[in-house]
């Protein structure tokens, strides 16, 4: 009952805004549905795990966070082991990834003393879960990445960029037009509509500008701004960022905006506030933006390749050796799920942004 009342309020809020201001940009719809301080999806739900809406890699296996922690430890040493330095996670979920990462990274001499843990999280509800998971490390919370203090830093972001609001544009016979969200009373539903005015080609990612009619371009300005901010920070103060997310290597003109609820896909304009909304990450544009800000950005590689190079098989086998047969099989199955091309191995990609001098990043080629 309480759930229904809340959902009605989210829907009402969107309908009121559309009634007042006309059709809204998809980015505004997405930002409200996910992040509204009262009725947003991440405020209302703990979406993780079998009982929730989706399972993320750190919730599949502790090995995921441990390998990323090893990555951080090695890169920190390559940076000259700065003390202090900022260890920043963007969108930490339940705090599982950071907890597992710290368990491994803190084995390096001096890492624990030097690390200042900063978490970027808008959801008050999830902040409580994260604070509890990471209590020995006294994490400092920020609502926006730009609020993180300056200094040498390592950033980790798993399934964060895909939650940042996107705008969508459709190629019509007469040029590009923005896709907006409107409310259709006869259908009692939110629907897409096209903006009346044309969108200038310069707003469309370069590889798509000449795409055929019917193509969709997706642009996340907050994601590009964040890549610029991270690129600027690591090139000025030293450090690196490891981004893992859904995404193709190249934008191909298809819509990727989607809604996930109870482990299934749904109409992303149905039941706002009740489902996770994401879009594939345009790694190519993020890399270009970070480079323009003075940083080095690697080509994105499949998550499976990164985890294999970081030693997922050896680590999983070590864990399995000490477990009873049923647990050992579960450990191996979780490992397969993270790296198998049919599961999370290639759908997810990893990319690093780093200070130009940090050439030997574990798991990535020196390109
Ligand atoms: C899909 S979850 C990923 C959680 C975690 N990284 C993991 O792998 O389990 C997205 C996380 O980002 C947070 N989040 C989403 N949009 C955000 C935003 N604009 N600013 C800050 N945090 C955000 C959510 O509250 C959640 O913690």
DSSP state of 48: B
Q: Let me know if 198 is exposed, middle or buried by CB neighbors in 10 A (0-12, 13-18, 19+).
A: middle
- Output the residue whose Cα is nearest ligand 1's atom 4: 93
- Output the residue whose Cα is nearest ligand 1's atom 2: 93
pLDDT at residue 367, as a whole number:
58
What pLDDT band is residue 142 in, cutting at 50, 70 and 90?
Answer: very high
pLDDT at residue 99, as a whole number:
98
| Section 275-302 average pLDDT | 96
pLDDT at residue 263, as a whole number:
86
Spell out a b/e string for 169-190, using b for 16 or more CB atoms within 10 Å of the CB, else e: bbbeeeebbbbbbebeeeeeeb
| Section 356-360 average pLDDT | 92
5 against 288, higher pLDDT: 288
Q: Is the pLDDT of residue 360 over 70?
A: yes
- Domain ranges (residues) in the chain: 44-165+220-247+282-354
Q: Is the pLDDT of residue 363 over 50?
A: yes
**Which atom number of ligand 1 is nearest to the Cα of residue 162?**
1
pLDDT at residue 103, as a whole number:
98
- Output the residue whose Cα is nearest ligand 1's atom 12: 91
| Section 100-108 average pLDDT | 98
| Section 50-57 average pLDDT | 87
pLDDT at residue 1, as a whole number:
45
| Section 82-88 average pLDDT | 98
pLDDT at residue 249, as a whole number:
63
Distances (CA, A) of 121 to 27, 35, 152: 19, 10, 20
Q: Which CATH superfamily is domain 44-165+220-247+282-354 in?
A: Vaccinia Virus protein VP39 (3.40.50.150)
**Which atom number of ligand 1 is nearest to the Cα of residue 57?**
8
- Output the residue whose Cα is nearest ligand 1's atom 19: 164
What pLDDT band is residue 365 in, cutting at 50, 70 and 90?
Answer: confident
Q: Is the pLDDT of residue 157 over 80?
A: yes
Q: Is the pLDDT of residue 30 over 80?
A: yes
Q: What percent of the chain has pLDDT over 70?
A: 97
Q: How far apart are CA 181 and CA 81, in angstroms?
A: 49
53 against 178, higher pLDDT: 178
Model-wide pTM > 0.75 = yes
CA atoms within 13 A on the CB side of 130: 24
Distance (angstroms) between ligand 1 centre and the Cα of 79 equals: 27
User: What rounded mean pLDDT belongs to the chain?
Assistant: 94
Q: Is the pLDDT of residue 6 over 80?
A: no
Q: Is the pLDDT of residue 271 over 80?
A: yes
Distance (angstroms) between ligand 1 centre and the Cα of 344 equals: 18
Give the CA-trace dihedral at 197, 269, 33, 145, to 10 degrees: -60
| Section 300-322 average pLDDT | 96
Q: Is the pLDDT of residue 2 over 60?
A: no
pLDDT at residue 5, as a whole number:
52
Contact by Cβ (8 Å): 176, 235: no
């Amino acid at each position: 009952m309480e759930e229904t009342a809340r959902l009605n309020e989210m829907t009402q809020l969107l309908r009121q805004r559309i009634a007042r201001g006309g059709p809204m940009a998809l980015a505004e719809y997405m930002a409200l549905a996910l992040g509204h301080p009262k009725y947003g999806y991440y405020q209302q739900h703990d979406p993780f795990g079998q009982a929730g809406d989706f399972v993320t890699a750190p919730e599949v296996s502790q090995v995921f966070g441990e390998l990323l922690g090893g990555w951080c430890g090695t890169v920190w040493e390559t940076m000259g082991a700065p003390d202090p330095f900022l260890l920043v996670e963007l969108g930490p979920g339940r705090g599982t990834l950071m907890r597992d990462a710290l368990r491994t990274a803190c084995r390096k001499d001096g890492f624990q003393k030097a690390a200042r843990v900063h978490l970027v999280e808008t959801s008050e509800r999830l902040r409580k879960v994260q604070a509890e998971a990471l209590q020995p490390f006294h994490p400092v919370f920020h609502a926006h990445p730009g609020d993180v203090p300056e200094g040498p830093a390592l950033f980790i972001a798993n399934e964060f960029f895909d939650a940042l609001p996107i705008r969508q544009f459709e190629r019509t016979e007469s040029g590009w037009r923005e896709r907006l969200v409107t409310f259709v009373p006869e259908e009692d539903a939110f629907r897409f509509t096209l903006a009346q005015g044309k969108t200038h080609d310069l707003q469309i990612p370069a590889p798509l500008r000449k795409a055929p009619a019917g193509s969709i371009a997706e642009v996340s300005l907050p994601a590009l701004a964040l890549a610029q901010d991270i690129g600027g920070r690591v090139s000025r103060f030293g450090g690196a960022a490891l981004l893992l997310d859904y995404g193709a290597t190249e934008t191909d003109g298809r819509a990727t905006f989607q809604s996930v609820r109870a482990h299934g896909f749904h109409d992303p304009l149905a039941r706002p506030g009740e489902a996770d909304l994401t879009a594939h990450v345009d790694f190519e544009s993020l890399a270009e933006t970070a480079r323009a800000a003075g940083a080095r950005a690697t080509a994105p590689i499949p998550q499976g390749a990164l985890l294999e190079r970081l030693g997922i098989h050896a680590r999983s086998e070590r864990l399995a050796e000490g477990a009873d047969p049923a647990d050992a099989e579960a450990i191996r199955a979780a490992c397969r799920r993270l790296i198998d091309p049919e599961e999370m191995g290639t759908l997810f990609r990893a990319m690093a942004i780093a200070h130009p001098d940090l050439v030997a990043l574990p798991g990535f080629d020196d390109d």
